[in-house]
């Protein structure tokens, strides 16, 4: 599928809410679904890393993926922008739909997917270029016709970094602190104007103050972007997210390997106050993991 058709079908679905809003009894939320994941299994070679993931990601919400190490939450996250394609032998079964478009349709260009679904990594990874060039990198590649200075300023303001760096835009991004670097990476992602931002443990390398700033930033960004965050930190999930997906691992009986699976997916307050599954309860109360 070409970029054009992806855009078209996406915009069709985006238009849908207005029709539904006119209907007296609308299906709650359904039109606001960004990702619809059904029966997702992820394999690395013959090894099944994650099985049976079914969930829907809603627009302008923060969805948190929590769970113990090795439960596959990062693996699932990386399916949403097809970053797993870069790992040799990685493949999926099942379906991930983005506004009704199958992301793994052979006609889909993963590069176009990544322009619309940005990603922020665990370790801040600014390019060894100037602050300005880091932000301008994405817009330059997509050949934006906008004034680059404006794009850079807007992205840095949105990422709450502008005041700290406006006097040293031409200086290397490597000179920023870890927290600033991570906000720079968020700004760099925003500059491409994606619809969704995936965050893979964005605060695990940061101190509590830098973490708090990123969390505040996520709340501000929520009005414009749909955010998915993988976190090891349950308090963080409870603080920032609207919905939480709890993953865990199970030992495969025939071998020593472990496969991750989705246990429970619900509004965050429900996961933390009244989880339905015993495994979720054990995890969020600290009895396991």
Strand 90-98 versus strand 101-102 pairing type: antiparallel
72 touches other proteins by CB under 8 A: no
239 touches other proteins by CB under 8 A: no
For 232, counting Cβ atoms within 10 Å of its Cβ (0-12 exposed, 13-18 middle, 19+ buried), the class is middle
Residue whose CB is less far from other proteins, 57 or 185:
185
Spatial distance between the Cα atoms of 49 and 43, rounded to a whole number of angstroms: 5
**Binder of other proteins out of 7, 129, 154, 239 (CB under 8 A):** 129
185 touches other proteins by CB under 8 A: yes
Query: Of the ranges 37-45, 61-69, 116-124, 221-229, which one interacts with other proteins (CB under 8 A)?
Result: 116-124
**Binder of other proteins out of 86, 163, 286, 287 (CB under 8 A):** 86
In the complex, minimum distance from the CB of residue 124 to other proteins, in angstroms, rounded to a whole number? 9
171 touches other proteins by CB under 8 A: yes
Q: Which of 55, 80, 60, 66 lies closest to 237, judged by CA?
A: 66
In the complex, minimum distance from the CB of residue 43 to other proteins, in angstroms, rounded to a whole number? 19
Query: Of the ranges 14-22, 130-138, 158-166, 229-237, which one interacts with other proteins (CB under 8 A)?
Result: 130-138
Spatial distance between the Cα atoms of 72 and 213, rounded to a whole number of angstroms: 27
In the complex, minimum distance from the CB of residue 156 to other proteins, in angstroms, rounded to a whole number? 16
CA separation, residue 211 to residues 139, 174, 179, 206 (Å) = 27, 19, 7, 6
Spatial distance between the Cα atoms of 96 and 98, rounded to a whole number of angstroms: 7
Which SS3 state, helix, strand or coil, does residue 243 take?
Answer: strand
Token digits for 202? Answer: 């964005």
Residue whose CB is less far from other proteins, 184 or 238:
184
Residue whose CB is less far from other proteins, 206 or 262:
206
145: Cβ–Cβ under 8 A, 6 or more apart, which residues? none
Name the residues that contact other proteins, by CB under 8 A. Answer: 81, 83, 86, 111-112, 114-116, 118-119, 121, 123, 125-131, 133, 137-138, 141-142, 170-173, 185, 188-189, 192
């Amino acid at each position: 599928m070409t970029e054009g058709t992806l855009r078209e079908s996406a915009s069709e679905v985006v238009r849908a809410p207005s029709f539904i809003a006119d209907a007296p009894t609308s299906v709650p939320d359904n039109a606001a679904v960004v990702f619809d994941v059904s029966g997702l299994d992820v394999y690395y070679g013959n090894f099944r890393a994650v099985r049976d993931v079914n969930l829907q990601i809603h627009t302008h919400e923060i969805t948190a993926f929590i769970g113990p190490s090795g439960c596959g939450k990062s693996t699932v996250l990386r399916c949403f922008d097809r970053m797993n394609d870069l790992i040799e032998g990685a493949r999926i079964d099942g379906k991930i739909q983005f506004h009704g478009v199958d992301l793994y349709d052979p006609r889909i260009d993963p590069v176009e997917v990544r322009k619309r679904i940005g990603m922020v990594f665990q370790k801040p990874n600014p390019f060894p270029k100037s602050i300005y060039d880091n932000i301008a990198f994405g817009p330059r590649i997509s050949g934006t016709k906008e004034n680059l200075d404006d794009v850079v300023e807007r992205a840095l303001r949105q990422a709450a970094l502008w005041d700290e760096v406006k006097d040293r835009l031409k200086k290397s991004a490597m000179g920023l602190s870890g927290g600033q670097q991570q906000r720079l990476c968020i700004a760099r992602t925003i500059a491409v104007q994606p619809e969704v931002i995936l965050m893979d443990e964005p605060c695990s390398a940061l101190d509590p103050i830098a973490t708090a700033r990123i969390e505040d930033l996520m709340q501000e960004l929520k009005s414009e972007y749909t955010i998915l965050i993988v976190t090891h930190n349950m308090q963080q999930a409870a603080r920032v997210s609207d919905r939480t997906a709890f993953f865990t691992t199970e030992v495969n009986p025939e071998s020593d390997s472990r496969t991750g699976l989705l246990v429970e997916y619900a509004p965050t307050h429900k996961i933390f106050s009244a989880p339905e599954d015993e495994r979720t309860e054990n995890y969020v109360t600290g009895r396991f993991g």
